[in-house]
Amino acid sequence: MRKGLRFLLVAALAALVALPVAAMADVATHRDHHKVSRQDKMFMTDAAEGALFEVQAGALAARKGVNPQTRAFGRQMVRDHSREYAELARLAHRLGVEIPDEPSEQQQQAIALWRQLSGKAFDCAYIPYEVVDHMLDIEHNKTEVEQGHNPKVRHFAARWLPVLQSHLDQAEEVLADLHTC
């Protein structure tokens, strides 16, 4: 009887200790959701749409570009931005943030327009857009790093800055080689 009573007492004590720990873990998870500011959510939405756009536009460039550098750049966009979106989706899930699963309406319109182009006309529409788009992406990431609230989102933005800068450099090189645009 004493062993049974001791067991019940230990079990009850363990349950009392475990309950607040479980509740604190739940509160910590809940708090993580609140630490994502409006700025962070806007950045995550824009980054998700942008990554998906780059994947779709890059696939188009890999097929429709006449210049081998345009096609290679498109393949690079598919590889890097697919990885970016996958990482962002995991982060968003951990933080309880929903992100888009398709490019913005404006980005979809650009892709629809580019589908109608071929050859040099495609290259001359796509590559200059990529230069400007990556300039803007770099500025958005810098803004998130400086003004974002959630450290994980800021870290994501900072980690992708060198990749975006590399893309900008590559796009500028391709544009310089196109000569007649």
Phi, psi of 81 (to 5 degrees): -80, -20
User: Domain coordinates of the chain in residue numbers?
Assistant: 1-34, 37-178
**pLDDT of the residue at 181:** 79
pLDDT band at 4 (very low <50, low <70, confident <90, very high): very low
CA-closest candidate to residue 128, choices 86, 73, 80, 87: 73
Q: Is the pLDDT of residue 24 over 60?
A: no
Cα distances (Å, whole numbers) of residue 142 to 46, 65, 139, 153: 13, 31, 5, 12
If one looks up domain 37-178 in CATH, what number appears?
1.20.1260.10
**Cβ(78)–Cβ(62) under 8 Å?**
yes
Q: Is the pLDDT of residue 92 over 90?
A: yes
Q: Scanning the structure block, which residue is given the tokens 């951990």?
A: 94
Question: Residue 19 has which token pair?
Answer: 């309950």
**pLDDT of the residue at 13:** 42
pTM: 0.80
